[in-house]
Amino acid sequence: MNTTQIKDTQNTLKKSLATNPISSKAGHEILSKEKIREIIAKRAAKEFKNGDVVTLGIGLPTAVADYVPADINIIFQSENGLLGVGKSQQGEKKDPRVINAGGGLVETIKGACFYDSQMAFTMMRGGHIDATVLGALQVDEEGSLASWMIPGKFVPGMGGSMDLVVGAQKVIIAMEHTSKGQVKIVKKCNLPLTAYKEVDLIITERCVFEVTHKGLLLIEINPMFSLEDIKSSTDADFKIAQNLKHMEI
């Protein structure tokens, strides 16, 4: 995309912002934690196709199961030993025995099955997972991922993230764009790596980056944010897709 195309895209986005009443303030000033979580989870849920077996990481990624379109048949696998994870349990009568990897109470779909950790990790390491959605502390412009520890702080363990990232056919990172003012999409990860050059897609509340062999490509942007907002909150270099689209929020 040349300078003229970038300016045209910026002008289009600015016009959209001007006509969108929800965009009267900078997006990061008016988005609640709940709304951020919803935007990211909804967008991630669009990445699946019929018949996919998908593993969701703990934290925000677990919310993705609640937003899969009704006409898409997805089988969610949980690394604690459940194939056929449904939506979050609702109502007064909840079964505390049925949980996802993050400890959240979940339903099961028809035909679901339970098994031990050995079987769960065999599925993950053996290339039987079509896609995984994980959180991250950092992702860099080469698609490397740091997600399991910050030196000097308590480390509960890496869980199954290393197995998932190298075993899944597609790796999607679903995370907030920044954390307490700190940039998370960087030129080079400086935290201990979970995996090297394995990430395929980065989804935040502000935008969507595709990881290509030439680096990051901005393919979608939340209309509540400008290109300048994305650049100022992203350390990694990136290119802008010619058909840059708005995220649905």
Chain centroid offset of residue 192 CA: 20
Q: Taking Cα atoms as reference points, which of 102, 96, 95, 164 lies closest to residue 129?
A: 164
**Integer angstrom CA distances of residue 158 from 53, 82, 88, 191, 208:** 22, 19, 24, 13, 25
* Catalytic residue list contains 228: no
Q: Which residues contact 25 (CB under 8 A, 6 or more apart)?
A: none
Q: Which residues contact 64 (CB under 8 A, 6 or more apart)?
A: 41, 44, 45, 56, 133, 174
CA gyration radius for the chain? Answer: 18
**Integer angstrom CA distances of residue 68 from 4, 87, 147:** 38, 9, 25
- Cβ density class 204-221: b for 16+ within 10 Å, e for less: bbbbbbbbeeebbbbbbb
d(CA 193, CA 149): 9
Tokens of residue 95, six digits: 């079964």
Sheet with 171-174, strands from edge to edge, namely 106-114, 82-88, 75-78, 53-56, 131-134, 171-174, 201-203, 207-212, 215-221, 238-246
Could you say which of 29, 34, 47, 79 is catalytic?
Answer: 79
Supply the residues annotated as catalytic: 79
